[in-house]
Structure 1
Amino acid sequence: MSTTNHRRLVGRDDELRSLFGHLDAVDSGGRAIGLFGEPGVGKSALQAEVVEHARTTGFTVLTARGSQSETHLPFAGLHQLLRPLLPRVDRLPAPQRDALLVCFAMSDSIEVQPFFTSLAVLELLVDAAGDSPVLVCLDDLHWMDQPSTDVLAFVSRRIAGERVIVLCTSRPEAPPFADPHTIAWTELDGIDAAASAELLDARAPRLPPAVRERVLRQARGNPLALVEFAGALESGRYAWTEFDEDLPMTTRLERAFAIRAEHLDPAVRAVLTVAAVDDGDDLDDVLAAASILHGSPVHLGTAQPAFEHGLLTVTGERYRIAHPLIGSALRQGMPPAARREAHAALAQVLTGHPDRAVWHRASSVSGRDERIAAELEQAAENAQRRGAISSAAAWLERAAALSPDPRSQAARLLGAAELGFQLGRFSHVEQIKAQVAGMTLRHRDRSRLAWLEGVFHDGSTGEPAEVRHLVGLAEHATGEQDVDLAMQLLVGAARRVWWRDPGPTLRHEIVQAAERVNLPAHDPRLLALHALCGFHERTPMVVEQLARWPADADGQPELAGLLGIAAFCTGDFRHAVGFLSTPARELRAQGRMSLLAEALAIRAWAEVYLGVFDPARSADEAMRLADETGQSLWAATARIAVALIDAVREGWDTRHALLSEAEHVALRTPNAASSLLAGVQLARGTAELGANRHEQAYGELRRIFETADPAFQRMQQVWALGYLADAAVRTDRRAEARTALASVERLVGASPPTGAAIALEYARAVLADRASAESLFHAARDGAASQLPWHRARIDLAHGAWLRRQRRVLESRGPLRAARSAFDAVGARTWANLADQELRATGERGWQPTSNPRELLSPQETQIAELAAQGLSNREIGQRLFLSHRTVSSHLYRIFPKLGVASRGQLAAALTRHGNQPSAG
């Protein structure tokens, strides 16, 4: 709030200097900035000063303000923000243009993916920033509708390389964009004593000294309080009481605003009443509804006192309440009947806006009403088609509250829960499930509730009682001949026992229940279930059936995803990568980032176990997408993969930041702890091996094999066995490691799949006695690892080191050189150095690692370079990677000199020359 027009804000020099500095540096990159603080502290005033400065320095300024009364309106805030840019919408690619127009109800209602809408907004802003830098101002973000907030979060995470600044304000209790990857929040406190006195004296110079001191004391540096208290006291409308000392600031300000409105004429109060519950900004709508409420025509002239008293502001035909606390004060002072009448009047006026009208009709009734509930349900369907999933869920919950029939109420609540599942709001879904569990359900809705019971696998409970409950529901569905539901429940149960093994008895119950469904042996759901439950005697059958499926699962990406899970959990990692690449491509094309993150996270580990240590293929993007979509377990899974890749490529100590973050997630999510912690221990053990710290490596890896340890995981010990054997040999623990080897042999049976075979053949050779080691090394090199450079190189390194220890120095150099070359070629620099150390011990000197400019690229730059080399345009690359085309262009500008090329046409050769293997999807 400025003290006078064209004057600086009192007491805000430091804040303005910082904010103006961000604007002045916009050519170096954008950023998202948030201000939060109590009502009246000056957030909006600071923002207004920044807007004025931005306009004078040539920015395009876009503004939107959240409103408590329109939080239910999907994309209301976004439409408010983008009005000036909508003429540019035809420049967008068709999928993005259509998604954006549909969300604004400006095109035929087709179902869209929300992330295409988000990408469209990003492209519009970046396109505008090509002409002049853009300032996006979002006031009262905490009251903006959720679909708009989701889009703006997406944008805020992607403007680091753009000439776009996002400036938000929010209340302190729950600022949106809470994650540090989206926005940097700064708390705005009250102004200091000197500034408070300066502001008060400028606004109320004639206050008596005693009153002046009391205002300063009560306002506590809150600029709005200083101005309002002083104005109320000077006008004589406000009398101090002893209770004022104990009232919260917000309550005192609301009281001051309410008193200001009480003295106005009934017609003006009718305008204010309607404005307080309105969810739009059209002044004609408010005047028309106020006329209905007042019982006689209300014109702009009649309403003028509301503007003169600073309660409303107007620009053209658009109005708004001058401060959110005014609206809050008006609503709190409004009798329930008056509020319902105001909603009814607006519903009558808004015939051209059916969704808004039905919301107001719903707010105008005091009891249940099936007709309005049905209208709300239809509005939810409209919102869902427009990609406003969160709004659709809210509308369904409102419809449920108005449903007279308990069965219809339950059905609508289940609809809201299903949408909540799509959004990943697991705790909210659990609340709805608990509410519905005691209600009367139709047969179909009992199936829907059962589906929700079995669908979660990220953060769901793995307690035996809960898993048995799912099995029981599945058996009931089997009895009802509902095969799809039965298998959904059983696969959900199997996922849970993978994260945290409850023991063979319960896993066997899941398998037995699946057998009673009587599916064909090749059914992907059945294969995934068997693999997740992990009985070795069924592994050959799973592997055999997987080999019969084509990589794209006959064009069915959902089935390919299940096949990928089955392949991964059995250790058939080659097939896992192939199967998971199909849904990854499909999900990417559909913009379904949540499910894409899961597919990439699983594929990243399949690649790691194959010995492909390239974060650009899957792991890095899985981590970023899982963070963005709020999937903490998949984000942790991907973090561990990235950390392990770093250990092989560069090396690090045991305090890797990503591992610490993943371990924190594991410890606060006990139902998934064992799987995540096993991955953490494997990464740490691998890092210690790469640093030649064998004692520490053995200690880290051994935890995966100890059944009482939180890091024990039934199948991951199989794939960690070879690394444990390496550490055991160097720490004189062969006997212990041989016990672990025997245990793994019993676990995987006589016909192990590729992953287990590699681990077993390697460990047998490394742990063998002198008489049998030679033949076992040769068998391992010619066995399951023969076509996998990383694993073959590890065998060569172990064999060469064994030969050197047998004093067969000249013979050792051949396998050691092969190992060093292979490690260097696949980018495993840490392990190439280990092989070189062994060679130096034989007396050989002079090796230098291969120079590879590709190592200078970040994982995201590598993805962009690969796609550009395939001939994709910047816009096509941006759509695949959920980036703006200008961001892609900026990345390529930096990529070219790193790879030593001057054009896109040279990228393919450069990447091939540097050993690149393109990502699969």
Structure 2
Amino acid sequence: MTGGESLLGRDDELRGLCDRLGGIDARGCAIGLVGEAGVGKSALQAAVVNEARARGFTLLTARGSESETHLPFASLHQMLWPILSRSANLPVRQRDALLSGFGMSDVAAPDPFLIALAVLELVVDAARQAPVLLSLDDMHWMDEPSVDVAAFVARRIEGERVMLLASVRAESTLLADNPSMEWVSVAGIDESSASALVDGRAPDLTPALRERVLREAGGNPLALLEFPTAMRAGRLGWSELSEDLPMTVRLERAFATRVEHLPAATRALLTVAALDDGTDLAEMLAAAGLVLGAAVDLEASQPALDEGLLISDGASAHFRHPLVRSALRHATPLAQRQAVHAALAQILSGPHPDRAAWHRASSTTAPDEHVAAELERAAQTAVRRGALVSAVAWLQRAAALSPDLPARGARLLSAAEIAFELGRFSQVEQMKRQVAGMPLLPRDQSRLAWLEGVFDDGSSIDPAETRRLISLAGQALRDDDTDLAAQLLVGAARRSWWSDPGADVRQEIVLAAQQASLPDDDPRLLAIRAMSESHERASFVISRLSQWPADVHGRPQAAGLLGIAAFCTGDFAHAIGFLSTPVEALRSQGRLSLLAEALAIRAWAAIYLGAFDLARSADEAMRLADETGQTLWAATARIAIAVLGALRGVRDSDAALLGEAERAALRSPIATSSLLAGVQFARGMGDLSAARYEEAYRQLRRVFDPGDPAFHRVQQVWALSYLADAAVHTGRQDEARSLLATVQRITGDDPSPAARIALEYSRAVLAGDADAEALFRSALDGGGRRLPWHRARAELAYGTWLRRHRRIVESRVPLRAARRTFDVLGARAWAERADQELRATGEGGWQPTISPSELLSPQEAQIAQLAAQGLSNREIAERLYLSHRTISSHLYRIFPKLGITSRAQLGAALSNGADPRTSGSDSGSDTVM
């Protein structure tokens, strides 16, 4: 180490952290120091900062403060201050979002993820000149928007010359579930180091006091320094430092005793400093003067400085240790605290109205509509700045001070709606419980009903909840609030999709939607009908969908609803088209939670259609859903990834993904939902690909059993052809034919595109010898004829049937075509099945090709595609919420994988996979080996 003396008793910890500094050129890292108050986390962190300074690092530091937790982006502003001038070089949208977060721009409601991306880019850009240390001390007291940005950055610095070092209290759960964080437990120092520290600080202690200090402190360095002072002063009895008390309490008591003997003006200043959410010393002195009723000047701070409680440069002031602030806050009576807050509100009302509003609210416990309205306006300001977490806190406080109960409920609902956008499940549930017993206006009653189950995408196992939404929608229609009625009915329809409440309830949803007098092609109406009566209304919905252009006239929200309508009716081609519009719009707007949902649904539409390259966007959907706390959509994406793995022939490697998805389903009210059906479909596909036909049939059969939690009235149709495959190989044709007949009744005479493909294929493979050939030809010429995956499956089944009927030469043509298509699509397991059938005819010599999509990870493939389209690294980074240097690193790895050396070659390399309908890669003769 080169940065100065090592800490007493911390050689091992400091050496390990400094080693990470030394390896920063090879790998960035995010490390959290966790331990009890006073154990030395801050000292250890300061030592690392000094070492980093000596090594030439750029230092970006911030320290959390208990009184600043309500100030959005306060800690982030501290951290970025040394490099904030570089924001002028950011892309315009990122720069404006970041400055708006700091109140330095008027951009309305910037997305928090866009702010986080701007921070990432600033940090990474700084790291080009020198490695960067982000030091975040006392993160447990930082404002939540700043913590969210830190979490975002921590996930994305592994490939950068950046080290994030944070310290948190042992009881904190901040970033606990962030897989990018490496946690280092900081415990008390060893006995010899503790003895040396006490002897150096208090060499005159009597043996009895020395022994007591060592025992009470338990190796806690701050206690070892503070307990001797308190004990020697005679202001603490033995019982007051009882080791039965938590260390934090014992330390606070030790600090509190050091304030009692100070002058009144100094005590007033310290009390103000403990409750202030700023560090401006003049501000503190002015407020202390109001509290004391007499002027308080700079001299009042000197005793606090001499006592080692306060640190000041003459313009700003802060406590030497956060526990001093905590001790003073806890020791100050409520009435005095309120007086201090009132004084601060008066001082701040001109220059800082939002801070003044918070202090004014803290100065009273009685309901006050004026103060509540002021807080509500401050919350609106926080939303405009992109500080949604802070807005929730302000609205909750506004609700608590609302004298009118309906107004209180409305403000809590506004807070809950924002918390939902943030993915804060527990917060939403808590606020819903608070509102449940309040008198609400009719519209707010409907808002509360809509919030029920929103984290499960509106799923519920109770039909009564769905009927309640229908009833509230009826009330909204009577109040001429068509938009609210439509919103409620979309929620009811989502419930009917995830967990079937029965035909009667589904019909009630559709009838209520018809009473709304929406146009027949209204996206909301089409989504309601598609989700509620996917089969019964399929032809009506699909006919109306065809009247809409793919871009839906630039209306992303409408396009999303049309995409859902198309998906639920089995019109997957239209679903992909419609969902691509909101995907791009949501990406550009930075609305990542909704983007994750759109990507997940589109990935499944692509899977069912056989567009597997597009379906790989499930990987991005999973990452975004995890990051935005959307368990349902993360599980949906994991299942899609597992299906793609099964098609590639990855043997059981995705079992963990399916296990996570299944647990997510069983933990929520959607245990009987589409999610479990998807898990069974993925497992069945894995078993089919591995030729484990008994297992495949067992897994898929559950989707068709109304008594099984995995039953789904729509997904059984889409799984039918795969069940038929398993039935043929296990001798269960009769049972499968019975299920085929049931599905035919369900889908009616005008089935959807997906249902038609499934029915045509299943009729052929389950047919008797007399009818099979004609039905195979119908399947080949039917709904899947222009869809390579579905046509190849029919060709494989037909070729297999021909070979087993000893029509060897005829069988080779469809089997070759199937093998070629599967090979190009990357469905390796299925290509191998087709090749096995061809080998059984006596033909061999095939070598599988490797497509570009197999060489690249899903994220690499996405980056390569965007680069091939001509986007710059910065443009790609903004779309994918990564740093531009990360994009550069990915491309550096992509080029050799594709055998190219320049960006200009990407397009040709990515299109190297031949069209399965035109490729001649294995169209050789009928040569027999």
User: Do Structure 1 and Structure 2 share a fold, with TM-score over 0.5?
Assistant: yes
Q: Give, as a single letter, the amino acid of the residue that structure 1 aligns with 2:580.
A: S
The Cα shift of 1:692 comes to 1.2
Q: Which moved more, 1:617-626 or 1:283-292?
A: 283-292
Residue aligning to 2:603: 604
Alignment CA distance shift 1:750-1:759 (3 Å)? same
Report matched runs for 1:52-71 at 5 Å.
52-71=50-69
Residue aligning to 1:311: 309
The number of equivalent residue pairs is: 914
Residue aligning to 2:731: 732
Alignment CA distance shift 1:503-1:768 (3 Å)? same
Residue aligning to 1:231: 229
Q: Which moved more, 1:624-633 or 1:747-756?
A: 747-756
Q: Which moved more, 1:858-867 or 1:101-110?
A: 101-110
The Cα shift of 1:818 comes to 0.8
Q: Which moved more, 1:294-303 or 1:54-63?
A: 294-303
Residue 143 (1) aligns with residue 145 (2): no
The Cα shift of 1:468 comes to 1.4
Residue aligning to 1:798: 797
Q: Which moved more, 1:271-280 or 1:903-912?
A: 903-912
The Cα shift of 1:455 comes to 5.8
The separation in 2 between residues aligned to 1:21 and 1:478, in whole angstroms, is: 66
Residue 106 (1) aligns with residue 104 (2): yes
Residue aligning to 2:923: none
Residue aligning to 2:367: 368
For 1:67-123, what per-residue CA distance to the aligned partner results, in whole angstroms no more than 9, with x for missing partners?
111111111111111111111111011111111111111123533222221111111
Q: Retained in 1: the 8 A contact 2:357–2:374?
A: yes
For 1:811-855, what per-residue CA distance to the aligned partner results, in whole angstroms no more than 9, with x for missing partners?
211111111110011111111111111111222121111133442
Report matched runs for 1:12-23 at 5 Å.
12-23=10-21
The separation in 2 between residues aligned to 1:175 and 1:317, in whole angstroms, is: 35
Residue aligning to 2:115: 117
Q: Retained in 2: the 8 A contact 1:455–1:489?
A: no
The Cα shift of 1:566 comes to 0.7
Q: Retained in 2: the 8 A contact 1:616–1:860?
A: no
Residue aligning to 2:81: 83
The separation in 1 between residues aligned to 2:615 and 2:48, in whole angstroms, is: 39
The Cα shift of 1:557 comes to 1.1
SS at match of 1:670: coil
The separation in 2 between residues aligned to 1:106 and 1:536, in whole angstroms, is: 53
SS at match of 1:394: helix
Between the two proteins, what is the percent identity of the paired residues? 63
Residue aligning to 2:927: none
The Cα shift of 1:201 comes to 2.9
The separation in 2 between residues aligned to 1:916 and 1:561, in whole angstroms, is: 30
Q: Retained in 2: the 8 A contact 1:613–1:649?
A: no
Residue aligning to 2:775: 776
Residue 255 (1) aligns with residue 244 (2): no
Residue aligning to 1:549: 548
Provide the TM-score with structure 2 as the length reference: 0.95
The Cα shift of 1:138 comes to 0.9
1:198 to 196, 199, 206: 196
SS at match of 1:241: helix
Q: Give, as a single letter, the amino acid of the residue that structure 1 aligns with 2:502.
A: G
The Cα shift of 1:365 comes to 2.4
The separation in 2 between residues aligned to 1:603 and 1:655, in whole angstroms, is: 20
Q: Retained in 2: the 8 A contact 1:564–1:575?
A: yes
The separation in 2 between residues aligned to 1:100 and 1:562, in whole angstroms, is: 31
Q: Report the RMSD for the aligned CA atoms in angstroms.
A: 2.0
Report matched runs for 1:635-654 at 5 Å.
635-653=634-652
The separation in 2 between residues aligned to 1:685 and 1:454, in whole angstroms, is: 30
Q: Retained in 1: the 8 A contact 2:269–2:300?
A: no
Q: Give, as a single letter, the amino acid of the residue that structure 1 aligns with 2:826.
A: G
The separation in 2 between residues aligned to 1:483 and 1:637, in whole angstroms, is: 31
The separation in 2 between residues aligned to 1:616 and 1:705, in whole angstroms, is: 25
The separation in 1 between residues aligned to 2:915 and 2:361, in whole angstroms, is: 59
Residue 277 (1) aligns with residue 275 (2): yes
Alignment CA distance shift 1:332-1:153 (3 Å)? same
The Cα shift of 1:509 comes to 2.1
The Cα shift of 1:209 comes to 2.8
1:211 to 209, 212, 221: 209
The separation in 1 between residues aligned to 2:240 and 2:278, in whole angstroms, is: 39
The Cα shift of 1:563 comes to 0.7
For 1:187-218, what per-residue CA distance to the aligned partner results, in whole angstroms no more than 9, with x for missing partners?
32222333333333333333333332322222
Report matched runs for 1:507-546 at 5 Å.
507-546=506-545
SS at match of 1:565: helix
Stretches of structure 2 lacking an aligned partner (at least 5 in a row): 917-929
1:31 to 29, 32, 46: 29
Residue aligning to 1:914: 913
Alignment CA distance shift 1:331-1:179 (3 Å)? same
SS at match of 1:167: strand
The Cα shift of 1:466 comes to 1.2
The Cα shift of 1:292 comes to 2.4
Residue aligning to 2:665: 666
SS at match of 1:64: strand
Q: Retained in 2: the 8 A contact 1:287–1:298?
A: yes
Residue aligning to 2:41: 43
Q: Give, as a single letter, the amino acid of the residue that structure 1 aligns with 2:478.
A: G
The Cα shift of 1:802 comes to 1.4
Report matched runs for 1:151-230 at 5 Å.
151-230=149-228
For 1:784-816, what per-residue CA distance to the aligned partner results, in whole angstroms no more than 9, with x for missing partners?
111111111111111111112112222211111
Report matched runs for 1:848-887 at 5 Å.
848-887=847-886
Residue 570 (1) aligns with residue 569 (2): yes
Q: Give, as a single letter, the amino acid of the residue that structure 1 aligns with 2:570.
A: G
Q: Retained in 1: the 8 A contact 2:499–2:674?
A: yes
Q: Retained in 2: the 8 A contact 1:126–1:884?
A: yes
The separation in 1 between residues aligned to 2:451 and 2:665, in whole angstroms, is: 24
The separation in 2 between residues aligned to 1:366 and 1:485, in whole angstroms, is: 35
Q: Which moved more, 1:721-730 or 1:458-467?
A: 458-467
Stretches of structure 1 lacking an aligned partner (at least 5 in a row): none
Q: Retained in 2: the 8 A contact 1:615–1:642?
A: no
Residue aligning to 2:919: none
The Cα shift of 1:457 comes to 4.7
The separation in 2 between residues aligned to 1:596 and 1:644, in whole angstroms, is: 21
The Cα shift of 1:586 comes to 0.7
Report matched runs for 1:586-597 at 5 Å.
586-597=585-596
The Cα shift of 1:444 comes to 4.6
Residue 436 (1) aligns with residue 446 (2): no
Residue aligning to 1:891: 890
The separation in 2 between residues aligned to 1:749 and 1:397, in whole angstroms, is: 52
Q: Which moved more, 1:179-188 or 1:141-150?
A: 179-188
Q: Which moved more, 1:548-557 or 1:124-133?
A: 548-557
Residue aligning to 2:921: none
Alignment CA distance shift 1:763-1:654 (3 Å)? farther
For 1:420-463, what per-residue CA distance to the aligned partner results, in whole angstroms no more than 9, with x for missing partners?
22222244233323333433334554454455458665365341
Q: Which moved more, 1:806-815 or 1:311-320?
A: 311-320
Q: Which moved more, 1:640-649 or 1:389-398?
A: 389-398
SS at match of 1:913: coil
Alignment CA distance shift 1:456-1:170 (3 Å)? closer
Alignment CA distance shift 1:558-1:459 (3 Å)? closer
The separation in 2 between residues aligned to 1:311 and 1:339, in whole angstroms, is: 19
SS at match of 1:63: strand
Which structure 1 residue ranges, 4+ long, deviate > 6 Å from structure 2?
none
The Cα shift of 1:469 comes to 1.1
SS at match of 1:253: helix
The separation in 2 between residues aligned to 1:287 and 1:362, in whole angstroms, is: 21
Q: Retained in 1: the 8 A contact 2:34–2:169?
A: yes
For 1:592-647, what per-residue CA distance to the aligned partner results, in whole angstroms no more than 9, with x for missing partners?
00000000000000000011223674211100000000000000000000111011
The Cα shift of 1:332 comes to 0.9
Q: Retained in 1: the 8 A contact 2:570–2:755?
A: yes
